[in-house]
Amino acid sequence: MSATPLVSVIIPTYNRAHIIERAIRSVLNQTYPNLEICVVDDASTDNTAEVLTAISDPRLRYIRLTQNQGGGGARNVGIEATTGMYIAFLDSDDEWLPTMLERLLTYLMQADRRVGAVYCDYYVYDDVQQQISLTRSPMYTEREVYPQLLNGWTQALSTFLLRRCPLLAVGMFDPRLPRMQDYELWVRLAQICDFHAIDEPLVIKHEFASAQTSRNLTSINRALDIFMGQWQTMLHRDIGVAKTERLRQIFLQYAYLAHAMTLSEHGQRWESFKTVVACRRTTGPIPLKRLIRVMLPILFGYRVYFFALSFQSKLVRWRSGREAA
C-alpha cells in the first residue's frame, strides 16, 4: 500500500455560487497533498459553473448534472467518477481546517482493517449571529455505534473519512431519500465495519436560516417513510416496535427544534416557543438537555446561549484533563 494513497473529496452543490469557493479552497489548502476534488453541481441555476471554471488546479474536477438528483444522487455520481482508496465528503457550505485529511487519514491507515470510517469533532459557525461553538463528537466503542444510531445519533457528514471498499459494498447513498441520506448510509455501514472518532475539531460547519417548517417536515416525513419501509423488519427485530416508532419521532423532533432555533435567531421568540410546544405535542417528551438548548435563546437571547455553550465546552475539557491526570 502506498504511504500517500489518493484521497477522493466529493463536494455536491446546488445554488451555492456565493460560498462554494470557500469549501474548495479549504480542500486545496490541506496539508495532505495527494487528493482529487470532484465537485458535482446538482443542476444549479446560479453562476456556480462560472465560479468553478475560474479556479485553476489540476486536482479539481467539475461535473454539472442536467437534472437535479438530490444530495444522495449527486454524491453517488462523485463516488463513481473518482478513484481514491479513501473518500471524504464536504458539504458546499462547510469548510475543513488544514490538517483535517492528514489527521484522519493517518489514523485510518494505522487502524485495523475492520475500521471503515473515522470522524472528528467540529465547530458550528452561526452565520446569522456570527458566533462559533464547539461540538464534541461521542467516542463510541465498536459495539456502541450501531445501537446508538438506532437511538437517533447522527454525525455531520463533512467530519468523516471512509474507506472506499466498505462504502461500495453497502451500495453508496440511497438516491430516493430527500433527507437523512447520510444517516441511512451509516446504519448500513455500521453493520459491516467499525467507526472510530478523533477527539479534535477539524471541520467548520456553517449554519444558515433554514426553510419553512412545513417544507422541512414534509421532506423528513417522506424520508422516514422510505427509511422505515426498507428497514422496519430489521428495526423491529433489533430494537422492538415501540423504539422503532420513537426513532421516527426523534427525527421529527430534530426538524421542529431546528426551526424553533431559526425563529429565535431572527428575534421571533414567541413563534419559536409555539414551535417547541407543537413539537412536544406531536413528538412526545423532549430530552432535558435538548430542551434547555432550544429554550435558552428563547428565554434569554443568543448572547447567554453562546456563553453557556462556551462554558460547557470548557467544563468538558476540564473534566477530561482531570480524568487523564
Q: What's the pLDDT tens digit per position in 273-302?
A: 898 898 888 888 888 888 888 888 788 776
In whole angstroms, give the CA distance from residue 178 to residue 158.
18
Q: What is the pLDDT of residues 86-128, one digit of tens each?
A: 999 999 999 999 999 999 999 999 999 999 999 999 998 877 6
* Homologous superfamily assigned to 7-207: Spore Coat Polysaccharide Biosynthesis Protein SpsA; Chain A (3.90.550.10)
**Structural contact between residues 203 and 136, judged by C-beta atoms closer than 8 angstroms:** no
Which position has the grid cell 431546528?
Answer: 258
Alpha-carbon distances, residue 298 vs 179, 253, 263, 275 (angstroms): 27, 17, 9, 11
pLDDT, mean of residues 263-271 = 82
Q: What is the pLDDT of residues 5-14, one digit of tens each?
A: 999 999 999 9
pLDDT, mean of residues 157-172 = 97
pLDDT at 130 over 90: no
Confidence of residue 211 (pLDDT cuts 50, 70, 90): very low
Q: Where are the domains of the chain?
A: 7-207, 216-324
Burial degree of 55 (CB within 10 A; 0-12, 13-18, 19+): middle
Residue 23 confidence (pLDDT): 97
pLDDT at 60 over 70: yes
